[in-house]
Structures are given as structure tokens and as C-alpha cells.
Amino acid sequence: MLAEAGLRIDPGRFLRLVADAARKVSPPQPNPADYFSPVQRQVLTDVGLDLSAYDEQESDPRASTVAARAVFADSAFSVTDTARLLGIDTSRVRHRLKEGKLTGWKDKGWQLPAWQFSGSAALPGLDVVLRALPDDQPALMIAAFMNTPQSDLELDGKPVTPRQWLLAHGDPRMVADLASTLGTVA
């Protein structure tokens, strides 16, 4: 199944990634109502939220997040891998991270998500987009945004992902404007 999905990884290593991702995702809470005061519970149920206890017969809603996080982590580049990809020194990679020209997260060393690269270069206009991203957005949320078609970005009359838009040399400020709203309520 991993090969069919285009993942070149040892199944044992992949399972270790999944287990690690599962530990990092919030632990299961059999009774979500325990998180809230009686007044908060009433307000939440009044607007239609189901706060009933987790049913052991239901599939765990965290499973897709855990799988996505494991694949995301496995596809990320180290500083050394990135330097090799871009044909630069590792110190330049760290410098670009510090300047906001590349993005990544620290987990036993820097990890740089693959979506920000094409061939042997960073996406055109990436720095403009990265400056616009809210600081509180997790790397997985940013990756999802960059790889999800946006109705405001069209090529040949069809919505495209921000990544596709940048690869087609679309105006990065349009992606930046969309990115700046991540995590806000409309």
C-alpha cells in the first residue's frame, strides 16, 4: 500500500512514524464534555455540538490526522538534504530559514516540508507567502493550505492550489492574501 501511494519507506519505519505522530496528537478523550463547565456545555449543545462520550465501536477520528502527520514528516527534508537539493551550503539553508525564505520545524533537527520545493529550487514567490502566514499556524495546516485548490486562484478557468499557482508564476501576493487569513473566522 505504501508503494501504491508513492511512498518509498520501509513499513517498519512508517509504523514507527505513525506511532510517534499518534503520541503527538491529543490523547483520546472518551468524554469531551469533561473539558467544559456546565454553562459551557449548555452553550455548546445549544448550537448543535455533540459532546457525548466516545463510542468504542466508532473509528478513532484522530486516525486520518495521525496518518497525514506521519506522511508529512516522512516527506520532509533535513537541512543537509535541502542543501544538497538547492546546491548550497547547510549554513545558507539555516540562514534562509531564519530570514523566512524557507519554512520548517525543529524535531531532532530542522525538517523542511517538501511542498515548498520544485526541482532544485524553492517555489517562486515563496518568501512573500511565508511572510504573510500567521505565526500560530502548524506546519501541517500550512501544507494542507498550499496543496488544496483555492477558488480565488484559477488557471484556465479551474481552481488550483497555491503551490500550482506559484509554479505557474502567478502573483505571490494573491497567495499571501489568502494565507494571511489562515486560522481566522470569516
Provide the residue ranges of all domains of the chain, joining segments of one domain with +.
11-52+60-72, 76-113, 123-186
* DSSP-derived pairing of the beta strands 110-111 and 105-106: antiparallel
Low pLDDT (below 70) residues in the chain = 2, 5-7, 22-30, 54-56, 58-62, 185-186
Q: Give me the chain's average pLDDT, please.
A: 86
Q: What is the pLDDT of residues 49-103, one digit of tens each?
A: 777 776 667 666 667 777 777 777 778 999 999 999 999 999 999 999 999 999 9
CA 156 to each of CA 62, 84, 159, 169, 184: distance values in angstroms, whole numbers, following the listed order: 37, 35, 8, 14, 29
Cell of residue 62, nine digits: 484522530
Residue 129: exposure state from Cβ atoms within 10 A (0-12, 13-18, ≥19): buried
77 strand-pairing partners: 112
Structure pTM?
A: 0.68
pLDDT of residue 68: 74
